[in-house]
Amino acid sequence: MNNKTFLIIAAAALAGCGARTTTAVRAGPAPQTETYTYALEAVDRTLGLRRDTSVTHVLADISAANLRRTDSTLVAFGTRNTFSDTLSNTRGIGAARRWIHGQLEQDGKACGGCLEVEYYGEVVPVQRAGGRAVNVVDVLAWLPGRDTTHVVVIGGHYDSCICSIRGGGNDSTADAPGANDDGSGTSAVMELARVFGKHYPKGLNSSILFVAYAAEEQGLLGSEILAKHLHDAGYHVIAGMADDMDGNVSGGGRTDSTSMRIFAADPDNSPSRELGRYVWALDAVYLPSFEVLPVWRLDRIQRGGDHEPYINLGDAGLRFSERVENYNRQHLPTDDFAHVNFGYLANVARVNAMTVASLAAAPVTPANARATRQGRAGATATSNAEPTNSGGQDWTLSWEASPGATSYEVLVRSTTSPTWEQVIPVGGATSCTLERQLDDEWAGVRAVGAHGARSMAASMPAPNPPRLINRPPATGAPAAPAPPRTPRSAPSAPPPTCGA
Ligand SMILES: [Zn+2]
């Protein structure tokens, strides 16, 4: 697309969306006040995401009866403690993982071999058990996409414990039913593998990895080894998401079976927070009767989950969890089958499914999104040349083209808004001029695919880095060299406007 065509599209998109205006407001008898405001093209919570009928078919196929059957079998292994028996075929974590593997293989056969099922394990010394080594074995089912370098990961932990009892964390023999924690999440992930294989036997744009993790209760060990393994193998993890405790609806005198929580880590413009906004928006598109409550923090206070190792490696991570917890049934023999609500769990699995399908169907989020203040001599989107003045009002937004994207959308929100407030289509451009005082706002960009599937947004600019003034280098470590400065150069011509 040439610049002229782009400008026409941008101008069309601009209509009504808001140059800066000055509005006179009369408030009672007080003298006239001047208010400085933007005429925002506000969007609703769907953020312009579109309904895809194939996803609605997937949601309709998720079965509470299947979830019930799976969880019932998991509980029947007696204990799934990571230190429990691995040789028996009826009791312990070994029997549990062989059964999970077998079920996933059956689902793979039903879709013509579309799922690749495997174990991934490492022998890990467990700090919480005095360094005792244990074979941590995850069960994986891959649904390869057209682009096998990018992967959407969703998992639940199949291990259980009675860690709330002294010494129970490493008790290898006592019953630890773990029906909700996390038989519920494991059942949901296995149901997702079945319905995705059935409805998308040829896969989507990106690969999907369904995981049953071990050793979550020993300190997130199963997810830690897998996240590192995926990174070492060169995969780009689009999202590392965990289903953990998804089937309890009553506790502390409260009952809630109509809403759930998602936990999205700081900072406010992190990939995890973008993933949280994306899920919140998708819920309004696909399942508005089942409310998703976003919680803008890593996890519940002083608790953790299998999304964390991905976040630690820089990926977007998210925890899906029930709205009301029952602390009298956590990590105890009372976490039993009778107290899991499978109709509720099916709705949580539907929120999982809309998220996984939308992420995997869309082009990947544009890489290297940057916002650079215009008018700073030498400062461009791609150089860190020494600036010679403080610059102007406008910003150059730029990003890398996303394979398969037919267009891009710029998003804008105030720094205090929980989600995006404005969407600006910019056609096929990979840079544009944003005529706003971005110091007061965040901008983002997302890729739009051929069928309207949209990626998560990449937020920009990067947060202000912490200023380490006069901080001495760590003892024994050499001081980090200063990044090289490129020579001063004249500012290049700004790109066309983004629209607002
Ligand atoms: Zn758990």
pLDDT digits (tens, 9 = 90+) for 264-276: 999 999 999 999 9
Taking the centre of ligand 1 as the mean of its atom positions, its distance from the CA of residue 244, in whole angstroms, is 5
Taking the centre of ligand 1 as the mean of its atom positions, its distance from the CA of residue 180, in whole angstroms, is 8
Confidence of residue 375 (pLDDT cuts 50, 70, 90): confident
Give the mean model confidence (pLDDT) for residues 199-205: 98
User: Amino acid identity of 196?
Assistant: F
pLDDT on residue 331? 96
Least confident of 239-243, 244-248, 496-500: 496-500
Taking the centre of ligand 1 as the mean of its atom positions, its distance from the CA of residue 312, in whole angstroms, is 19
Number of residues that this document lists for the chain: 500
Tell me the C-alpha distance between 313 and 463, whole Å: 18
Give the mean model confidence (pLDDT) for residues 248-263: 96
Taking the centre of ligand 1 as the mean of its atom positions, its distance from the CA of residue 181, in whole angstroms, is 5
- Where do we find the tokens 């009866």? 65
Cβ neighbour number for residue 270 with a 10 Å cutoff = 18
Q: In what order do the strands lie in the sheet with 395-398?
A: 370-373, 395-398, 431-434
Taking the centre of ligand 1 as the mean of its atom positions, its distance from the CA of residue 319, in whole angstroms, is 11
pLDDT on residue 14? 33
Cβ neighbour number for residue 36 with a 10 Å cutoff = 8
How many alpha carbons fall within 13 Å on the CB side of residue 295? 16
Tens digits of per-residue pLDDT, 396-427?
Answer: 999 999 999 999 999 999 999 999 999 999 99
Give the mean model confidence (pLDDT) for residues 239-247: 98
- Where do we find the tokens 């508005």? 288
- Phi/psi class of residue 364: alpha, beta or left (left: φ > 0; alpha: ψ in -120 to 50)? beta
Give the mean model confidence (pLDDT) for residues 91-110: 98
Q: Which two tokens stand for residue 189?
A: 């992930």
Domains located in the chain, CATH noted: 3-39+368-460 (2.60.40.10), 53-361 (3.40.630.10)
Taking the centre of ligand 1 as the mean of its atom positions, its distance from the CA of residue 217, in whole angstroms, is 7
Helix, coil or strand: residue 21: strand
Taking the centre of ligand 1 as the mean of its atom positions, its distance from the CA of residue 215, in whole angstroms, is 10
Tell me the C-alpha distance between 318 and 323, whole Å: 15
Strands of 144-303 (E only): list them.
147-157, 206-213, 236-243, 250-251, 254-255, 259-263, 291-295
Taking the centre of ligand 1 as the mean of its atom positions, its distance from the CA of residue 431, in whole angstroms, is 43
Taken in order 149, 150, 152, 157, the sign of the CA dihedral is positive
Cβ neighbour number for residue 306 with a 10 Å cutoff = 32
Residues of the chain with pLDDT > 70, as a percent, come to: 83
Strands 291-295 and 259-263, by their bridges, are: parallel
Confidence of residue 32 (pLDDT cuts 50, 70, 90): very low
Helix, coil or strand: residue 317: strand
Tens digits of per-residue pLDDT, 34-64?
Answer: 333 333 456 788 999 999 999 999 999 999 9
Task: Considering only residues 469 and 257, tell me which one the structure prediction assigns the higher pLDDT.
Answer: 257
Taking the centre of ligand 1 as the mean of its atom positions, its distance from the CA of residue 241, in whole angstroms, is 13
Taking the centre of ligand 1 as the mean of its atom positions, its distance from the CA of residue 205, in whole angstroms, is 30
Taking the centre of ligand 1 as the mean of its atom positions, its distance from the CA of residue 245, in whole angstroms, is 6
Tell me the C-alpha distance between 460 and 457, whole Å: 9
pLDDT on residue 167? 85
Taking the centre of ligand 1 as the mean of its atom positions, its distance from the CA of residue 216, in whole angstroms, is 7
On whether the CB atoms of residues 455 and 447 are closer than 8 A, the answer is yes
Rg, the chain, Cα only: 25
Taking the centre of ligand 1 as the mean of its atom positions, its distance from the CA of residue 235, in whole angstroms, is 26
Taking the centre of ligand 1 as the mean of its atom positions, its distance from the CA of residue 194, in whole angstroms, is 22
Task: Considering only residues 68 and 18, tell me which one the structure prediction assigns the higher pLDDT.
Answer: 68
User: Amino acid identity of 121?
Assistant: G
What is the 8-class DSSP label of residue 349? H
pLDDT on residue 1? 37
Q: What are the CA-CA distances from residue 274 to residues 49, 322, 349 (Å)?
A: 14, 21, 20
Taking the centre of ligand 1 as the mean of its atom positions, its distance from the CA of residue 186, in whole angstroms, is 10
Render 436-483 in DSSP notation, one character per residue: S-GGGEEEEEEEE-TTS-BPPPEEESPPPPP--TTPPPPTTSPPPPPP
Taking the centre of ligand 1 as the mean of its atom positions, its distance from the CA of residue 35, in whole angstroms, is 51
Strands 236-243 and 147-157, by their bridges, are: parallel
pLDDT on residue 489? 55
Q: Which of 489, 486, 484, 495 is nearest to 377 (CA)?
A: 489
> What does pLDDT average to over the chain?
87
Q: What are the CA-CA distances from residue 165 to residues 134, 169, 176, 343, 400 (Å)?
A: 21, 8, 11, 30, 52
pLDDT on residue 494? 87
ω before 71 within 30° of 0 (cis)?
no
- Where do we find the tokens 């910019």? 426
Cβ neighbour number for residue 225 with a 10 Å cutoff = 22
Least confident of 28-42, 133-147, 240-254, 473-487: 28-42
Tell me the C-alpha distance between 74 and 96, whole Å: 6
Taking the centre of ligand 1 as the mean of its atom positions, its distance from the CA of residue 16, in whole angstroms, is 48
On whether the CB atoms of residues 181 and 245 are closer than 8 A, the answer is yes
